Structure 1
């Protein structure tokens, strides 16, 4: 645990965390999540902890993961707040491996970290498709040089990927209507309170029974907490990551 605390402090100092201060409460919250995430994820998904651990090991031994590390020029994966943290993109892989979704929708792609982990899980499952919406070059997600949306995604995973460019406000309602129903919705676009609530509310009526709403950066505001307060569903918070397991019926 002291090493985890060291890594998180180092990450805050290096990345400035978008101006968010590292308080003692935040440090304790993160260390608590780091200590218990496998057990809490297993409980949420109603599977043994051993399976959760096995699926995390799948990531480390995969060729697609090594390709992403190479593209980013990263030699080691640390337990910090980067997308390599087990509490972020790898958690999506584990979730999708267990949930076996047919239709997953994602808002916010940027380099394609999260997309890669979702697509890798779908490929391993041999089923499912990811539908992504991205508005390129938003603050904090500017692609440099010749990089394009999703440039990190390994080529062999893109056969299960559909990308729509534009804002989620404009594109999400139509996509959800076209798909009819979805199994997983993942928010990682504009993290304003208003946009997060808009996306959660848009996705909920299309979510299958037992489906999941997942959100990154839930510590930016109270949108995830307020939305959870409207639902009587199981949910877990993994510091910056939130996961809701939806059960019908829900009436607004």
Structure 2
């Protein structure tokens, strides 16, 4: 599919969904008037991240006093089945990330309420739910439909049915989903960000969620090398953060 065809199909999909019009307007502005601001500070942050990054194994050991090897050994069958479902999915979305980091963040905080932005196949959702299930906790997720691929029904497709009773999925952009989630729950134990990659989108969500993350809660953001939003946010709030190098990208994590 050409880029022009993809944009046209996406636009038509938005037109058919009036509830997504606010996000359509924001995307038009972001892709015209604010294109350069989306990658603001990228070189600065990548240089900083490269100089301080550690492995996921070291970060989990340092922050949560856990060995990541136990996760895949314990949940091997579930993860294998999830991988099979991903391969069978006709829609291509973002793959699995640092699952151990998310799982052990939930274990460390004894999480009962977790918030994530960005779902795709549902790998991060699965990692959180495997921990939350133990305490009958709830995962609140925000994710847009995959409009260009007509993939609405496949979002979260790898999550097993027995975990879905602990999951609330909001199918809007963050600026619509998060207020809806906050009206239901205003304090969270773990936050995982993996949605709008723009500088402004990140800063808006970071600030909104940070004030609702409880003391001792864990804040995780994927792909922090896209721009300097995460670095700037941490510096502004005097936050000492850990940076993880994972499959050529950087993840930021800190305990509030």
Q: TM-score, normalised by structure 1?
A: 0.70
Q: Residue 104 of structure 1 is aligned with which of 111, 114, 119?
A: 114
Tell me the equivalent position of 1:70: 84
CA deviation after TM superposition for structure 1 residue 188, in Å: 0.9
**Counterpart of 2:241 in 1: which secondary structure?**
strand
Mapped contact 2:194–2:223 kept (Cα < 8 A): yes
- 2:157 is aligned with 1:151: yes
Tell me the equivalent position of 1:11: none
Tell me the equivalent position of 1:41: 60
Q: Residue 178 of structure 1 is aligned with which of 181, 184, 205?
A: 184
Tell me the equivalent position of 2:252: 242
**Counterpart of 1:33 in 2: which secondary structure?**
coil
Task: Name the one with the larger helix percent.
Answer: 2
- 1:185-210 deviation per Cα after TM superposition (whole angstroms, max 9, x unaligned): 11111111111111110001111111
Tell me the equivalent position of 1:20: none
Q: Residue 127 of structure 1 is aligned with which of 114, 136, 140?
A: 136
**Counterpart of 1:183 in 2: which secondary structure?**
strand
Q: Residue 164 of structure 1 is aligned with which of 156, 163, 170?
A: 170
Change (3 A) 1:84 1:135: closer
**Counterpart of 2:67 in 1: which secondary structure?**
helix
CA deviation after TM superposition for structure 1 residue 63, in Å: 2.5
Alignment partners' CA distance in 1, 2:106 and 2:206: 19
Alignment partners' CA distance in 2, 1:138 and 1:228: 33
Alignment partners' CA distance in 2, 1:72 and 1:133: 20
Alignment partners' CA distance in 2, 1:236 and 1:55: 22
Alignment partners' CA distance in 2, 1:210 and 1:69: 32
- 1:41-78 deviation per Cα after TM superposition (whole angstroms, max 9, x unaligned): 22223x2xxx323543445x43321211111239xxxx
Change (3 A) 1:215 1:231: same
Alignment partners' CA distance in 2, 1:178 and 1:158: 18
CA deviation after TM superposition for structure 1 residue 233, in Å: 3.2
Q: More relative contact order in 1 or in 2 (CA 8 Å, sep 6+)? A: 2
Gaps of 5+ in 2: 1-45, 89-93
**Counterpart of 1:152 in 2: which secondary structure?**
coil
Alignment partners' CA distance in 1, 2:182 and 2:240: 23
- 2:248 is aligned with 1:233: no
RMSD: 2.8
- 1:131-173 deviation per Cα after TM superposition (whole angstroms, max 9, x unaligned): 011111167xx464x8422111111211110111111112212
Q: TM-score, normalised by structure 2?
A: 0.69
Alignment partners' CA distance in 2, 1:192 and 1:175: 22
Alignment partners' CA distance in 1, 2:68 and 2:157: 29
Gaps of 5+ in 1: 1-24, 75-81, 247-252
Alignment partners' CA distance in 1, 2:83 and 2:156: 15
